[in-house]
Amino acid sequence: MSRTDIGPPDFREMLPPVIKENYGKWKYHEIVKPGVLKHVSESGAELYSVRVGSPRLVSIDFIREICDLADEFCDGYLRFTSRHNVEFLVSKKENVEPLLDALKEKGLPVGGTGNSLSNMIHTQGWIHCHTPATDASGIVKAVMDDLYEHFVNMDLPAKLRISLACCLNMCGAVHCSDIAILGIHRTPPRIDHERLPKVCEIPTVIASCPTAAIKPDPKRKSVKVNEERCMYCGNCYTMCPAMEIIDAENDGIAILVGGKVSNARTAPAFSRLAIPYLPNNPPRWPEVTEAVRNIVEVWAANAKKGERVGEWIQRIGWENFFKLTGIPFTDKHIDDFIFSVPTFRTTTNFKW
């Protein structure tokens, strides 16, 4: 019989001696080169962290491989970052270069620090979820291949955070990313009236609709959907398996831009719609990678040093964002949800 409620292992058991000795006493850090951080403590002790990109979906053999490296170069200690990178915690300076060589040999990319593109936060997609409008791992691989140079170099105006969510549950911080890739549906749910009364709790389904498009259908002991009010969020399908929303022909990708979570310079901000729809085109999603690259290139060419995507757009104005990127502005970009009013321009201040 297993022990319950023991919680996670105490992180203190997982720290290398150099960290235990200098815990809370770090004085400053510097980025030695892309992917390599040096932390210096009050006592003069040094810790090097080598950051490595990971596909996040990894086999146990991958984990064992990085354990071998950590045993060889880091006294058996490593960590993961909040963007799914691996960080080797090196307490001996002379081990840094040999570790970098070993990583190069294994084809693992070192980078993701400073003004670079770090790893993409992403979700399960077709690998393990039942509500996705697109895949996660495949698009991440395609986009990271395409923008690889920006992971291993710090050649961008500021940090670039690209995230992906395979449906608008937005697991992860997709709604607050510099560039967000979001799976969307474009057709209303298809109701299986035979099955619905057997598997769904109708009041919960009705309450799950953000636009109140779902009404009871007492005759059939089922529900009706007012299709004019439905914007295909799929939340009713989350609640009720008899309301199939997935539609391979019409599902696809929306791209949002300009979000951030840090408080540096400007307040945290939501990402906002740039491209309402791009098709799912596995295995390489060329329309998506091209659209993302275009936004990255236009931003990199026009932003001031230190200006993140959203800050750049705030300075030049959305009218210029659409002009410079060549992305068409459509009625889809104008918010018509319940919190739309604060997005309307309530001033004559704007740019031509």
Partner 1 sequence: MEHNSKKMEVEKVKEHKTPLLDELEKGPWPSFVKEMKRAAEKNESAKDLLGQLELSYQDKKGHWKHGGIVGVRGYGGGVIGRYSDCPEQFPNVAEFHTIRVNQPSGWYYNTKALRKICDIWEKRGSGLTNFHGSTGDIILLGTKTDELQPTFDELSDAGFDLGGSGSDLRTPSTCAGPARCEYACFDNLDLCHDLTMTYQDEIHRPMWPYKFKIKISGCPNDCVASIARADLSIIGTWRDSLRIDQEEVKKYAASGMDIKGEVCEPCPTKALEFDEDAGELRLKAEDCVRCMHCINRMPKALRPGVERGATILIGGKATILQSAFLSWVIVPFMKMEPPYQELKDLLERIWEWWDENGKTRERIGELIYRKGMGNFLRAVGLPAVPQMVYQPRANPYIFWQPDEVKKK
- Based on CB atoms, which residue is closest to partner 1, 172 or 325? 172
Cis link prior to 189 (omega < 30° from 0)?
A: no
Q: Name the token pair of 352.
A: 């031509």
CB-based burial label for 236 (10 Å; 0-12, 13-18, 19+): buried
Q: Report the nearest approach of partner 1 to the CB of residue 149 (Å).
A: 9
Least distance from partner 1 to the Cβ atom of residue 125, Å: 8
> Which of 164/325 has CB closer to partner 1?
164
Amino acid at 341: V
Nearer to partner 1, 118 or 325 (CB): 118
| Shortest Å, Cβ 326 to partner 1 | 26
CA-CA distance, 250 to 137, in Å (whole number)? 20
Instruction: Kindly tell me which of 54 and 325 has the beta carbon lying closer to partner 1.
Output: 54
Which pair of structure tokens corresponds to residue 345?
């321009």
* Distance of alpha carbon 226 from alpha carbon 207, whole angstroms: 14
Residues in the chain: 352
Q: Which of 313/325 has CB closer to partner 1?
A: 313
Least Å distance between CB 181 and partner 1?
15
Output the smallest distance, CB 278 to partner 1, in A. 13
What sign results for the dihedral spanned by CA atoms 204, 205, 208, 214?
negative
Query: Closest separation between CB of residue 78 and partner 1, Å?
Result: 6
Q: Are 34 and 153 in contact (CB under 8 A)?
A: yes
Assess contact for 230 and 213: CB atoms under 8 A. yes
Q: Between residues 232 and 325, which has the closer beta carbon with respect to partner 1?
A: 232
Sign of CA dihedral 339, 255, 308, 159: positive
